Amino acid sequence: MAKLLIINADDFGLEEEVNRGIIEAHRRGVVTSASLIPTGSAFGHAIELARDNPRLDVGAHLTLTRGPSLVGMPVLPPTQVPSLVKGDGLLPQNPVSLAGRIVLGLVSLTQIRLELTAQLEKIHSTGIRITHIDSHQHIHLVPAVFRLVTGLAQQFGVTWLRLPLKCQFSRGRPTAAGIMQRLKVASLRGTAAIDSPRLTEAGLRCADYYVGVEFSGRLSDVEMENLVTNVPDGITELSCHPGVDDVRLSQNHPWGYRWERELAALCSAGMVATINRSGVQLVRYSEISV
């Protein structure tokens, strides 16, 4: 069986600095696809770049925790989703708190569906083909939300969803941060296991493996080489977060990300050689026959 690797850059549309990093990592490096955040301030800029780079797959990076609600916009205020937003029309920022409220039934699933539909419609209206669906801070994995997303994927003709059933860690002694990341990944895998039957019922697909989450925003060339060298047979998605100007991006997004380091790793001269040496084939979701 072949070793197929999709290298997907998240947060396309977040900021122009992120967009430029993603496109550079696509043109000069090994990024094959990107996930577009509909509520991002640089959404229009990302669409222009996507049109100029038709070999870059574009998926939907849905969000319930980032930016303004898109329901009723731009004509109406976002009053149709009151359980999801407050008077300022902004989506909540804490994914853990939001997930808890959803589980407790404190957020209307009908309103969530309205919001996610509006986000997919925004991308679809540009003429860009949506090749896959994932989400900001993995909020689509909350089981009640995942059921909605599978239905929307069918509605918009999308076959591929991100479902991190199998994740890969780097080798070595875990640091405190590494332990926290492992707990995060274990939680994602547990939730994905709950979601998996619904994916199958809906006739949708996910990559066999999902890696990179344990290094979110902190991938180096060494870690990239380790991940690529250990790609197993089947389809693997590696998520990444390239960008330019860490200082500028950190002002608005103090997540501790090292966007420039990830960009350098994705464009390093040895990365393509490592991929070829490992027998890995870089692909896009749109190239994989269902």
User: Residue 176's pLDDT band (boundaries 50, 70, 90)?
Assistant: very low
pLDDT of residue 169: 55
pLDDT of residue 178: 66
Greater pLDDT, 177 or 159: 159
252: containing domain: 3-287
Q: How far apart are CA 26 and CA 31, in angstroms?
A: 5
Structure tokens at 188: 């994602």
Question: Total domain count for the chain?
Answer: 1
Give percent of the chain above pLDDT 90.
71
> What is each CA distance from 18 to 200, 222, 241, 262, in whole angstroms?
34, 22, 8, 11
Q: Residue 183 above 80 pLDDT?
A: no
User: 226-266 pLDDT, tens per residue?
Assistant: 889 989 999 999 999 999 998 999 999 998 899 999 999 99
Q: How far apart are the first and last CA of the chain?
A: 16
Please compute the mean of the pLDDT values over residues 89-105 and round it to a whole number.
92
Q: Report the distance separating Cα 38 and Cα 185, nearest Å.
A: 25
Residue 76 sits in a domain whose CATH number is 3.20.20.370
User: What pLDDT, on the 0 to 100 scale, is given for residue 1?
Assistant: 73
Give pTM, 2 decimals. 0.93
Name the more confident of 127 and 226: 127
Contact 242, 219 (CB under 8 A): no
pLDDT given for residue 284 in this prediction: 97
CA distance 64 to 8: 20
Q: What is the mean pLDDT of residues 52-66?
A: 96
Q: How many CB atoms lie within 10 A of CB 128?
A: 17
Instruction: Categorize the per-residue pLDDT at 73 as very low, low, confident or very high, splitting at 50, 70 and 90.
Output: low
Per-residue pLDDT at 187: 85
